Structure 1
Amino acid sequence: MDSLFDLHPLGPTPDDLERRILKLQKINAALMQRVERSMDQQANAYSLFQTAITLESQVRLRTEELSSALARLERTNDELSSARDVSERANRFKTRFFTAVGHDLLQPLHAARLSASALAEAADDDRQSTIAARIEHALVTIEELLKSILDISKLEAGVVTPALRPVALDDLFASLALDIEPQARAKNLSLRWRHSGLAVVSDPLMLRRILQNLMANAVQYTDRGGILLLARQRGEGVRIEVWDTGPGISDADRQTIFEEFQRGTAADRPTIGGFGLGLSIVRRMAEALGHPLGLCSRIGRGTRFSVTAERAALPDVASASPAAPIHARALGLSGARVAVIDNDPGVLEAMQALLRRWDCDVYAARNLADLGGADKPDLILADYHLDDGRNGLEAVALLRRRAGSTVPAIVITADRAPAVADAVRALGCELLLKPVKPAALRALMQHLLSQVPQAVG
């Protein structure tokens, strides 16, 4: 290659100079491109550096915000945990409170109703009978109001938790008819129920309360005709229906009768009392159970309330014993030996007075130690809660062992806990909830005394 210093003897020619100029221009252009690329790379690096700094600041800011949010969340969680603990303690207190209040309120009312019934049967003239009837009516009103208030309070407090299990409807219907029949008879209404052989998945106590309220409501609003209770299979469910021949419910009232203190236009009649809480309790309990409610009514013809539950297989029950001959006292209670166990002196005295009015031979005891003189009773009436942590089922078991037979027994309690009902059922006893209706007690006693006790294993 020629150098710039390789001079031609005669000096560089124009072509040589032109070639060298072009070569230098190319070298200069290449150097400029290299410089420009280097500058671009430096600019990109600086831009990336600036971006990294910005991102780092943003990350630091977001990290601080996240740390602050986590700290606030931890404080909130601590507050929620504390509030949950307070709520759980409050709910446990409410549960104990409502259980105690229910027992303490219904216990004296139970004694008062027994005493009023004995007073009515002992009345010597119409004036005394009228006074006794008014007392009984007032006590019934107080009882229904207290039950409604306690039911609504328990539902609002969330202390009522459904215990779902198979419920045989024929047994439930028979028991409900026994409870409602005195009210229907007092108004000259017919009361019928149909055998279905069906069972549903439900809480037995809550379902009973729903149907009891619907039937009592039907009796209250019906002046002529009667009440019908039945169940129909509908697909995978069972629809339980309560029919009446009352005045019917208008379209306007159907939207409000399930609310508190709403009784419909028919309630404007002087014969209708109460505070309109029954159907509100029905709605709340049905919602808690997941049982849809239905209503069909025609003015002047009557009303059908319904509640639908999932169908279940019939629960296993002990095989029924062969039909036993009916005792002569099946038509009454005269001469029946009845052992009564109750730790409340007032209730014990009132029960003795009532049973003696029914011509029963009564043996009364306040605890298990006092049962020494109870020799082979025909029937046992036992309060569930006794002193010193004992219960009436222990008294029943003791008397049955002594008698050597399954003496029929009725356990009476204000405790509506499912565990109590299960324990009573497991021992083969009947259950009555306080305050006991004397007519229902007498009917159940007559039914039990009409059967011969079976010998114990």
Structure 2
Amino acid sequence: MTIENRSEYGSHDNALEELERRNQKLAKINAALMQRVERSMDYQANAYSMFQTAIGLETQVRARTEELKAALNRLERANSQLTLARDGAERANRFKTRFFTAVGHDLLQPLHAARLSLSALGEIHGEQQHKRLIGQVDHALSTIEELLRTILDLSKLDSGAIKPSFQPVGVPDLFRSVLVDIEPIARDKGLLLTMRAREMAVTSDPLMLRRILQNLLANAVQYTERGRVLLACRKRGAHLRIDVWDTGPGIAPSEQTKIFEEFHRGAAGQRSHAGGFGIGLAIISRMAETLGHRIELCSEPGRGTRFSVYVPISEELPANRSVSRDRQSAATRAYGLTSLKVMVVDNDAGVREAMRALLDRWGCDARLFQGLEGVNGMLASDPAFRPDIILADFHLDNGEQGLDAVARVREAFGTPIQAVVITADHSVEVAEAVAATGSEILRKPVKPAELRALITHLVG
């Protein structure tokens, strides 16, 4: 082979190699392009799949949103109905409170008159059968009175109408004032009623705290057939624990959690012949809750019961500590009131007639008036009649008050004549208004012996 042929073959080989390299390069480019095309197609497929997924999720979100809107609408309607029901319940509760207050006042008026008339009748000397019937009627009136007071207390506590007036309360005077009411009942049952008081004061509402202790003592005396009832106190840190102990039948553990519920009398209450509606302890519990005082019960069947009230200790001493003690001693006296000049102001004709009969039996010289007009007429026509004491109803007709009559008489004679305001209104506002005039207050229906003792104390 010549040199020219070799050169020609060498060029041909080089061309083939070049073509081979180009072919491989094109193959790589083609492979790369195919990969890009495949990736592009996969991306489009994924994008389409995501698009479909998004459409599905949007549909679900729309459906859930509609369900949520429907639920919110139902909830809004339910809230509106609950609001209407709550407003209706509040209106009914306010109406119930006003109703019981008004009806209670109207019912206490004839009870007040009946008690006064019955007392006057009882002082007339007669046969033993006559006295026994009077006693039965008096017991029935007392039962009705207690039930009405209980209904009114429950109504006021439920509505929040009772607002406590916190002040220092002397423990010895408080204990004596409670025992003076319970002592005759305990004595009739042959029970020993004692107290152990400490010379200190507590912070509470004196009327509500007295009512709590009075109810606890009354329950203890009612359910204790033999033994003793003790009113005592112990210091426990910043509180004074006031205890009412008895040697009664005790309360079973299964009943102790229910004893403060309304209308629950328990086994001892069902065995007792004293009656009752099982709401006394419920009132005690609610009063203690209103005052923020804790109630504690400790009892063992067959051995007795201890009810305790935890009351904050006061660093201040109560004002006029000796007044209540004097009044309690006066409450046990019953002197004659012959020739005592008494002015009675009451808008109820039945009460005026009953009061006239009672005061006549006591030998008093009484003048009775319906309202301020009659008082002014008497002052103008008979100025020589200067009353020793005024007995006035708080609520009179035409928006007048008994305090108006008291102020008018005192102004006419220029002297602070003693006055007793008699009312069925147990509100703090009324008590404060009466106290501001230096007058005394009695709640209807008034017990004649209590009225006579108070008159004797004031004018004696």
TM-score range (shorter-chain normalised) is 0.7 to 0.9
2:32 corresponds in structure 1 to 30
The answer as to whether partners of 2:97 and 2:155 remain within 8 angstroms in 1 is no
1:361 corresponds in structure 2 to 365
2:425 corresponds in structure 1 to 415
Q: Give the direction of change, closer, same or farther, for the CA distance of 1:301–1:404 in structure 2 (3 Å limit).
A: farther
SS across alignment from 1:424: helix
Matching residue's letter, 2:354: A
The answer as to whether partners of 1:249 and 1:297 remain within 8 angstroms in 2 is yes
Kindly indicate whether residue 396 of structure 2 is the aligned counterpart of residue 386 of structure 1: yes
What does 1:234-273 correspond to in 2, within 5 Å?
Answer: 234-244=236-246, 246-251=247-252, 255=256, 257-259=259-261, 260=263, 262=265, 264-265=267-268, 268=271, 272-273=274-275
What does 1:61-140 correspond to in 2, within 5 Å?
Answer: 61-140=63-142
1:4 corresponds in structure 2 to none
1:15 corresponds in structure 2 to 17
What does 1:148-227 correspond to in 2, within 5 Å?
Answer: 148-152=150-154, 155=157, 158-170=158-170, 172-184=174-186, 194=197, 196-202=199-205, 204-222=206-224, 227=229
Aligned residue pairs total 435
2:49 corresponds in structure 1 to 47
* Percentage of pairs with the same residue: 54
Q: Give the direction of change, closer, same or farther, for the CA distance of 1:178–1:369 in structure 2 (3 Å limit).
A: farther
Richer in helix (by share): 2
Kindly indicate whether residue 341 of structure 2 is the aligned counterpart of residue 337 of structure 1: yes
Pairwise CA distance, 1:35: 1.7
Could you list the per-position Cα deviations for residues 419-449 of structure 1 after superposition, in whole angstroms to 9, with x for gaps in the alignment?
2223223333332221122222222223323
Kindly indicate whether residue 309 of structure 2 is the aligned counterpart of residue 307 of structure 1: yes
Pairwise CA distance, 1:313: 5.2
Pairwise CA distance, 1:306: 1.9
Q: Give the direction of change, closer, same or farther, for the CA distance of 1:266–1:98 in structure 2 (3 Å limit).
A: closer
Residues in 2 aligned to 1:161 and 1:298: alpha-carbon distance in whole angstroms: 36
Residues in 2 aligned to 1:149 and 1:191: alpha-carbon distance in whole angstroms: 29
Could you list the per-position Cα deviations for residues 214-238 of structure 1 after superposition, in whole angstroms to 9, with x for gaps in the alignment?
2222343456676544444422323
Pairwise CA distance, 1:162: 4.2
Q: Give the direction of change, closer, same or farther, for the CA distance of 1:397–1:316 in structure 2 (3 Å limit).
A: farther
2:438 corresponds in structure 1 to 428
1:402 corresponds in structure 2 to 412
Matching residue's letter, 2:435: R
Could you list the per-position Cα deviations for residues 270-292 of structure 1 after superposition, in whole angstroms to 9, with x for gaps in the alignment?
5x343444234323433454432
Alignment TM-score, normalising by the size of structure 1: 0.81
Residues in 2 aligned to 1:167 and 1:56: alpha-carbon distance in whole angstroms: 68
| Gaps in structure 1 of 5+ consecutive residues | 1-6, 451-457
Pairwise CA distance, 1:42: 2.1
Kindly indicate whether residue 358 of structure 2 is the aligned counterpart of residue 348 of structure 1: no
| Gaps in structure 2 of 5+ consecutive residues | 1-8, 380-384
CA RMSD, 1 decimal:
3.5
The answer as to whether partners of 1:182 and 1:439 remain within 8 angstroms in 2 is no
Q: Give the direction of change, closer, same or farther, for the CA distance of 1:162–1:237 in structure 2 (3 Å limit).
A: farther
Pairwise CA distance, 1:179: 4.0
Residues in 2 aligned to 1:174 and 1:444: alpha-carbon distance in whole angstroms: 17
Pairwise CA distance, 1:21: 1.9
Residues in 2 aligned to 1:84 and 1:299: alpha-carbon distance in whole angstroms: 43
SS across alignment from 2:159: coil
SS across alignment from 1:200: strand
The answer as to whether partners of 1:263 and 1:275 remain within 8 angstroms in 2 is no
Residues in 2 aligned to 1:319 and 1:211: alpha-carbon distance in whole angstroms: 19
Residues in 2 aligned to 1:42 and 1:229: alpha-carbon distance in whole angstroms: 93
1:444 corresponds in structure 2 to 454
Residues in 2 aligned to 1:376 and 1:195: alpha-carbon distance in whole angstroms: 45
